[in-house]
Each structure stands twice: as structure tokens, then as C-alpha cells.
Amino acid sequence: MSDGILLPKFPRGTLLPEADRVARLKEALPQIRAVVEGESDPVAVEATLACLFWETFVQTNWCGFYRVVAPGMLAVGPYQGGMGCLRIPFHRGVCGAAARDRQTQLVPDVHAFPGHIACDDATRSELVIPIVAAGALRGVLDLDSPHPEGFGAEEARILEDFLGGGWMERLDWGDLG
Ligand code: SME
């Protein structure tokens, strides 16, 4: 096992000020990119991203992927945290909305989001980013926090740029496209 990436340590659940979270994310992403460089297997990449995003986003209680496995259907992929729902249809929850609309969902208060799926009652905010690569929606990255407003617009934008930056196009996604 490697030591992962080099970042200051904080206890799980710590909500750092937004400026510190953004700085931490900017410090982490080049390291994360270097770790997955050259790997073409989507599960290997998603598992590694789930692990390293878990280290980066200390405010999370769940961090991982839902994958498109059939038209209108997501199934859980690699993740860190408590047990997640196994399947999420596109018409349900925050993940479903991100998949259906192919739009990032930044939800500061999940109690105010109609249809939110409470896999973990402790979750209070979410950030879900769709992954579109090689001509198809492949899944979503789901980050959950027990803090209201656990994620900000700048973190969302930086993550969108990272995941949409082109390198994920080159993974062996199979024939969904
Ligand atoms: N809360 C999510 C479901 C996924 S789990 O919490 C891991 C949603 O509403 O999409």
C-alpha cells in the first residue's frame, strides 16, 4: 500500500473554511492526476479517485461513484464511507438528477431537495458531478457531507474541470457510447 497523496491531516468530518478547502483541492488534484496517469481501466481509476478524494474532502461521510449500467439506471461503484444505495434510477435523488440532466448538483441542504435519497440520515449536503466521456454519460461522482453547505461553488467548478478535462475520455469505457 502506498501512502496516498501528501496533504495536511485533519480528523474525518472536519469542515474547513471554503478558501482552505479550495486550496487543499488545488494541492491534491495534480497529485491525484499523477497517480492515475496511464491507467485505462475505469474501475481502477474510479477506485483510486474514491480513495484519494476521501483523503482530500475531509468533510465527507461518503465519497464515490455511481455508474450507468442500463438506460436510466445507476449502480453503485467504488466508494469510501458507509454503505450506499445499490441502485438509483435516474428519476430519483440527487444522483439521479445529475445523471438525467447531465448537470452538476450542488445541494447545500438535502432536506430541501425533493426526492433526496437518505442512504445515511447524517448526510446534510451533497455535490454530484456527472461524468461524460467518449460520447456517453458514464456515471456520477457523489460527495456527501454531514455538514450543511459542506461544498461550495468553487469546489464544484474545479472538480468539473478535473473530471471533464479530457483525460477520462481515454479510459476503456466499453460500448455504452
Ligand atoms: N443521497 C444520494 C444517494 C446516494 S447515497 O447517499 C450514497 C441521492 O439522493 O442521490
Provide the CATH number for the domain around residue 112: 3.30.450.40
Range of 126's domain?
18-170
Domain presence at residue 25: yes
Residue 176 lies in a domain: no
**What total number of domains does the chain contain?**
1
Ligand 1 centroid – CA 63 distance (Å)? 10
Which pLDDT score is estimated for 177? 45
- The bridge status of strand 73-81 relative to strand 87-89 is antiparallel
Candidates 63, 88, 103: which one to mutate for ligand 1, based on the most atoms within 8 Å of Cβ?
88
Gap from CA of 38 to ligand 1 centroid (Å): 30
- Say what the pLDDT of residue 128 is: 98
Residue 141 maps to a domain:
yes
The type of residue at 114 is P
Local structure of residue 106 (DSSP, 8 states): E
pLDDT in tens, the chain (177 residues): 666 799 999 999 999 999 999 999 999 999 999 999 999 999 999 999 999 999 999 999 999 999 999 999 999 999 999 999 999 999 999 999 999 999 999 999 999 998 888 888 999 999 999 999 988 999 999 999 999 999 999 999 999 999 998 899 989 998 654
| CB 17 within 8 Å of CB 148 | no
Task: Read off the pTM.
Answer: 0.95
146 Cβ closer than 6 Å to some ligand 1 atom: no
Q: Ligand 1 centre and the CA of 88: distance in Å?
A: 8
Measure CA of the first residue to CA of the last residue in the chain; give whole Å.
Answer: 34
On whether residue 165 sits in a domain, the answer given is: yes
Q: What is the pLDDT of residue 1?
A: 61
